[in-house]
Each structure stands twice: as structure tokens, then as C-alpha cells.
């Protein structure tokens, strides 16, 4: 069974390229365009991994991560935060609130796929 990944980003070009890339790798994909939609999609789609942008409308990626990390039913959910904010303080904050990994934009798609496979423990 394919791993399920929820892509949460408000930039359509990033969403399209990630969706294409990850579907090609055999993952099942769902998409959300803001923080509130992300939480609704997590409940409906039950992803294994969240690719979570930090700067978004309605709720930031940090807020979404905090909400999910306080939900005892979501302990197995992996969160990979994506952000143009690559300062050490931003990365430290993302990891401190419970993200499993943090990548800064722009990122290499090859590196992203490798990180996703590593987090999901797939060859």
C-alpha cells in the first residue's frame, strides 16, 4: 500500500511540482492550500507524512504543527517543514515544536524525495 502524503503550501507552482514528483515515486497525494484546510485534510485523508510550508494564510505551518503535536491520535504522523525562512532560529523553532525535519526553499527535488523516503523508511 502506498504511503500517503499531504502537501500543504499556498504556492500553486510548488504544490504542482511536488505533487507530480511524489506521485511519480508511487505516493498517494492530497493537497491543502492553507493551515485550516491542512487540519481538515489530516482528519479526512489520514496522511503518513505532512510536507508543511511555514508561511501560509489562516494558520502558519508552526501553528498547524503545534496543533497536530498536541493530538494524541496523531503521534505517528511525520512532519517535514518547508520554508524560505532558513535562519537557524526558524529551523530550531520548527524542530522544537515537533517537526521531524526541516528543509529550506529553494530545495533540490532530489534531496526532498530522498528525505521523504528516509522519513518514511522506504527504499
C-alpha 13 chain-centroid distance: 16
What is the domain-level CATH number for residue 51? 3.40.50.2300
How many domains does the structure of the chain reveal? 1
pLDDT tens, per residue, the chain with 123 residues: 689 999 999 999 999 999 999 999 999 999 999 999 999 999 999 999 999 999 998 999 999 999 999 999 898 999 999 988 778 888 889 999 999 999 998 888 889 999 999 999 986
Is residue 120 in some structural domain? no
Write out the residue range of the structural domain in which residue 43 sits. 4-114
Q: What is the pLDDT of residue 1?
A: 67
Is residue 121 in some structural domain? no
Is residue 23 in some structural domain? yes
Is residue 11 in some structural domain? yes
Instruction: Please name which of 44, 14, 83 lies closest in space to residue 91, comparing C-alpha atoms.
Output: 83
Is residue 119 in some structural domain? no
Q: What is the pLDDT of residue 27?
A: 97
Task: Locate 104 and state its grid cell.
Answer: 529550506
How far CA 35 is from CA of 21, 56, 120, 122, 123, in Å, comes to: 22, 7, 23, 27, 30
Alpha helices in the chain (DSSP H): 12-24, 35-45, 61-69, 88-96, 109-120
Amino acid at each position: 500500500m502506498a504511503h500517503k502524503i499531504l502537501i500543504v503550501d499556498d504556492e500553486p507552482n510548488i504544490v504542482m511540482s511536488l505533487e507530480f514528483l511524489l506521485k511519480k515515486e508511487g505516493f498517494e497525494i492530497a493537497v491543502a492550500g492553507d493551515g485550516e484546510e491542512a487540519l481538515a485534510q489530516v482528519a479526512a485523508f489520514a496522511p503518513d507524512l505532512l510536507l508543511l510550508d511555514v508561511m501560509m494564510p489562516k494558520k502558519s505551518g508552526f501553528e498547524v504543527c503545534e496543533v497536530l503535536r498536541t493530538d494524541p491520535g496523531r503521534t505517528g504522523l511525520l512532519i517535514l517543514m518547508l520554508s524560505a525562512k532558513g535562519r537557524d532560529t526558524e529551523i530550531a523553532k520548527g524542530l522544537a515544536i515537533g517537526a521531524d525535519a526541516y528543509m529550506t526553499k529553494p530545495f533540490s527535488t532530489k534531496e526532498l524525495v530522498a528525505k521523504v523516503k528516509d522519513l518514511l523508511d522506504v527504499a
